Amino acid sequence: MNYPVHIVAVSGLIENDEEKILLVKSPDRGWEIPGGQIETGENLINGLKREIKEETGIIIEIGKLIAVHSNIGEMFQPDGISPIGTIVSFGFTGKAISGELTTSDESLEVNWFDREKILDVIDEEFTKDKVRYMLNYDGRVVYLVFSRNPYILHGVQYF
């Protein structure tokens, strides 16, 4: 029996004291909220803190779980043949508590943006939808189901 493989990831809608939102410019996807894959044996909270520190230089305090994103589209390794599974990503709020903005191999640029302007700088439609729903958090966790290439939003549900 073949068991399905899912990549587990996290992302953070991180605010500073001026209520600006932290964005990173990925070499592949353009501007987005920071985050990434959870490593083997790592929990979601530690993984998000690690990813944000690695990508931005910022140390954060985690807030609430506000979103779950399922990318159900078929994805492949760089060879274009080997499947890599689907992605389930957990979106959290957070607060910057220290650190200086720095870039990494995963972030060409890092900056703070006004809440009202971040959707204007994000190019990828799936990223805009993820961030739009996170910005509009109303106390319920939003669950988005989508696929990429081409981008299709299959469903949105609140819990």
**pLDDT tens digit string along 88-145?**
999 999 999 999 999 998 899 999 999 999 999 999 999 999 999 999 999 999 999 9
Q: What is the pLDDT of residue 4?
A: 72
Give the pairing of strands 30-32 and 142-147. Answer: unpaired
Distance (Å, whole) CA 97 – CA 60: 5
pLDDT band at 80 (very low <50, low <70, confident <90, very high): confident
Specify the residue for token string 């994000």: 122
Nearest 5°: the CA angle 8, 21, 117 is 115
Q: What is the pLDDT of residue 6?
A: 85
In the chain, what are the domains?
6-153 (3.90.79.10)
pTM (two decimals): 0.92
Interval 3-42: pLDDT, tens = 777 899 999 999 999 999 999 999 989 999 999 999 999 9
Q: Which residues pair with 109 in a beta bridge?
A: 25
Interval 42-68: pLDDT, tens = 999 999 999 999 999 999 999 999 999
- Alpha-carbon distances, residue 137 vs 2, 65, 91, 131 (angstroms): 37, 10, 11, 10
The percent of residues in the chain predicted with pLDDT above 90, rounded, is: 81
Nearest of 102, 120, 143 to residue 30 by alpha carbon:
120
If you average pLDDT over residues 73-101, what whole number do you get? 86
Nearest of 78, 96, 97, 86 to residue 33 by alpha carbon:
96
